[in-house]
Structure 1
Amino acid sequence: MSVRTIPNAQRRSSVVIHHLDCAPMRPLGAPPLVTHCLLVATNSGLVLVDTGLGAADIADPRRLGAMFRHTMRPELDLSRTAVHQIRALGYDPYDVSDIVITHLDLDHAGGLADFPQARVHVTGDEYRSAMRRDTRLEANRYRPAQWAHGVDWIVHDTADATWLGFPASRVLRGPDILLVPLPGHTRGHSAVAVQEPDRWLLHAGDAYFFHGEMDLRRPRCPRTLALHQRLVADDHELRLSGLEHLRELRRTHPRLIRFFSSHDAQEFAQLASRDR
């Protein structure tokens, strides 16, 4: 197997990236959260990075489980779903050819059924964890109803590239989109690197929840969110190790990468403002 190193962003003038909040949440005792998804519009079709909650979740919130609804308090609004926002942007949802998943938690995979034609890219470890649901934590976080419609899974088990020193799996070319394994939050959690004209976007998924955790001088996180991350992590120490690797990337490549996580409202607002 050949492994290609991908060190720099290259110019791609035909790509448009939209930032979507597909599940706003108001958790008890914590700052408001978003569920940051990407819509990547290319000449060959549309690509989603994560899906947020889906139309079926809004129609029947019981699919989400009582604990998630009561602690995270999601905004159950059909207009927030990815499929609705894609239509509002003037695109045809059927043109979503690929979905790239950071992980299959219920607030990230709920919209899969809204795009039944799409190939769904996920790491092998995440796919197996979601299908088996071996632990109580996994039984709560993964909701098989969200993929019961039948999914065209593309399971990435081996790295076929490296991205700035990280092993990675190439999902698509033009722009380059890669799964960058970053386990800890879940067994198969990954970041997703998306090529922009002059830099990379790195969707860090749930590697962190609060922008202050990426501060290079004094990392910080509200106590409630820090506790939540510890409680829902498959391996908390491994998550912290991955977060330190992300901070090191920020130190060494301050202009090449724009970092953001799934749930930080400030990061979302800054990036979404470029769409307007």
Structure 2
Amino acid sequence: MRIHQMNCGTFAGRLPTRVLLVEAPAGLVLVDTGIGLRDIADPAARLGPLRHAMRPRLDPSETAYRRIEAMGFDPREVRHIVLTHMDFDHIGGLADFPGAEVHVAAEALTWAVRTPRWIERRRYRRAQWSHGPEFTEYVYGTDRWEGFRVHPLDHVVEGMALVDLPGHTVGHAGVLVPGDPGDPDETDVLHAGDAFYLRGQIDPSVGHPRAIGVVERVLSLVPSAVELTHARLAALAERRRGDLRVVCAHDPTGPGGVPG
């Protein structure tokens, strides 16, 4: 089983939306989708006013669908999509994979789709799920991984799990993807979504602009949880250094990033 990190949408000139493509025994699995082909065809309706601030590059070659084709795979083989959350830059490609089962934390689905508050109604883009995707939702129980609440997704990929990472949105989650035990270069990956924006926020050895924290809090729907989630991810990354890669969606460095 291989894990590919792909840039599926570029914002503000150089910020990627990092998506994982997992080659699983029963088909392809995506972690998030980035923006999709329909978003590019109709950005006003599907991305809304926030597109003016985020300035997405509307390039079809950057969609998950086209990235998968370019890698020599058939996009119709995407069987499952696991979401970190439901912001437009993470779910826009859902409609490009209408046959995929979509896995999401129940709390995220509730506040985005069923009972959105004023702020969620303006933040989330209903057009992006108007095609009627098959959502499967999960409530955390007693399962724990490295101290985090998790919901196992072994029925998608053995060893995969939804990881509770509160802060950015209500119901925001990370996705743990197991590496290939037979390949030392294929370590486990935790896609932390928007739980942090730049590596330096969880790794003190890496510099980063302090202003990013201000931006993060402005965009957070649960700001009281942001610092604790950072601290827990920092401790995890240090504790599992060498056998776990903790990545986020918009850091321009690393695989799937945007060259400077």
SS in 2 for 1:110: helix
Counterpart amino acid of residue 10 in structure 2? P
Q: 1:220 to 1:244 in 2, by over 3 A?
A: farther
Alignment-derived partner of residue 81 in structure 1 = 63
Alignment-derived partner of residue 212 in structure 1 = 200
SS in 1 for 2:67: helix
Are 2:2 and 2:180, in contact at CA under 8 Å, matched by a contact in 1? no
Aligned with residue 215 of structure 2, among 228, 245, 254 = 228
Matches within 5 A, 1:109-148: 109-132=91-114, 134-148=116-130
CA–CA separation in structure 2 for the residues paired with 1:223 and 1:216:
12
1:184 aligns with 2:172: no
Alignment-derived partner of residue 10 in structure 1 = none
Are 1:171 and 1:178, in contact at CA under 8 Å, matched by a contact in 2? yes
CA–CA separation in structure 1 for the residues paired with 2:60 and 2:126:
21
Alignment-derived partner of residue 24 in structure 1 = 10
Q: CA RMSD for the aligned pairs?
A: 2.0
1:56 aligns with 2:10: no
Q: CA deviation at 1:163?
A: 1.6
Alignment-derived partner of residue 252 in structure 1 = 239
Query: What do the CA deviations read for 1:220-245 (whole angstroms, capped 9, x no partner)?
Result: 64244322211110111202111111
CA–CA separation in structure 2 for the residues paired with 1:94 and 1:59:
20
CA–CA separation in structure 2 for the residues paired with 1:146 and 1:134:
15
Q: CA deviation at 1:93?
A: 1.1
Alignment-derived partner of residue 227 in structure 2 = 240
1:69 aligns with 2:57: no
Are 1:160 and 1:170, in contact at CA under 8 Å, matched by a contact in 2? no
Counterpart amino acid of residue 25 in structure 1? F
Are 1:211 and 1:267, in contact at CA under 8 Å, matched by a contact in 2? no
Alignment-derived partner of residue 95 in structure 1 = 77
Aligned with residue 188 of structure 2, among 200, 204, 208 = 200
CA–CA separation in structure 1 for the residues paired with 2:256 and 2:97:
26
What TM-score, normalized to structure 1?
0.85
Are 2:5 and 2:256, in contact at CA under 8 Å, matched by a contact in 1? no
Query: What do the CA deviations read for 1:191-227 (whole angstroms, capped 9, x no partner)?
Result: 111000253101010001111101246x764244322
CA–CA separation in structure 1 for the residues paired with 2:245 and 2:207:
19
Aligned residues between the structures: 252
SS in 2 for 1:24: strand
Are 2:7 and 2:256, in contact at CA under 8 Å, matched by a contact in 1? no
Q: CA deviation at 1:129?
A: 0.9
Are 1:34 and 1:268, in contact at CA under 8 Å, matched by a contact in 2? no
CA–CA separation in structure 2 for the residues paired with 1:207 and 1:220:
18
What TM-score, normalized to structure 2?
0.90
SS in 2 for 1:51: coil
Counterpart amino acid of residue 238 in structure 2? R
CA–CA separation in structure 2 for the residues paired with 1:210 and 1:223:
10
Alignment-derived partner of residue 90 in structure 2 = 108
Q: Which runs of 5+ in 2 are unaligned?
A: 182-186
Query: What do the CA deviations read for 1:98-135 (whole angstroms, capped 9, x no partner)?
Result: 00000010000000001111010000110101114633
Q: 1:226 to 1:136 in 2, by over 3 A?
A: farther
CA–CA separation in structure 2 for the residues paired with 1:159 and 1:255:
29
Q: 1:257 to 1:23 in 2, by over 3 A?
A: same
Alignment-derived partner of residue 184 in structure 2 = none
Query: What do the CA deviations read for 1:14-37 (whole angstroms, capped 9, x no partner)?
Result: x0211111111116xxxx310000
